[in-house]
Amino acid sequence: MAVEIERKFLVKADFVPDSDSQIEIIQAYLCADPERTVRVRIGGDNAFLTIKSKPEGISRAEFEYEIPVEDARQMIGLAVWPAIEKVRHLIDFDGKKWEVDVFSGANAGLIIAEIELSNADEVVRLPDWVAEEVSEDRRFHNSCLAQNPYCEWKNDR
């Protein structure tokens, strides 16, 4: 088991992620309730099955296993909601690796930047392209975006 500690930010609308390192991700959820999520992800040529516990603040338990891509493809067909599609850009900033997810499909228009921390109190310098922090806003969890995609949100933001 690992502990995932991450902060999550919206990205300014005029930011165009430009990285050498990018990967297409398709992921879907076999289960996504407040207490636990079971995710199947295909990222490039690899696939993973990932179980996460309920978050406590910005931390949660994570169990991740590599699985055959073909299994993942079939399991995505068992998912509760349609798969999430995004391109993940890895961007180095101030010695940290930022993951910037540019969503497409039903979540097109959404760009989320994530940074993994070694502990919940770690101080990180923020790039000037990040906007509002949404670390504890469940709507921006990928599991919630699968269930209630961005394109269906009302104009309440």
Binding site for its own copies (CB under 8 A): 1, 30-31, 35-36, 38, 49, 51, 53, 61, 63, 65, 67, 70-71, 74-75, 78, 80
Q: How far is Cα 151 from Cα 139, in angstroms, rounded to an integer?
A: 13
Distances (CA, A) of 129 to 34, 90, 126, 138: 30, 14, 8, 22
Which residue, 23 or 61, is less far from its own copies as judged by CB?
A: 61
CB of 31 to its own copies, least distance (A): 3
Specify the DSSP class assigned to residue 15. Answer: -
CB of 67 to its own copies, least distance (A): 6
Q: Residue 70 corresponds to which tokens in the numbers above? A: 């073909």
Which residue, 58 or 67, is less far from its own copies as judged by CB?
A: 67
- Residue that has been written with the tokens 């590599």 in this structure: 66
Which neighbouring-strand residues pair with 67?
47
CB of 37 to its own copies, least distance (A): 9
Q: How far is Cα 120 from Cα 47, in angstroms, rounded to an integer?
A: 28
Is 150 annotated in the active site?
A: no
Spot the catalytic one: 9, 29, 129, 140.
29
Which residue, 13 or 65, is less far from its own copies as judged by CB?
A: 65
Active site residues: 29
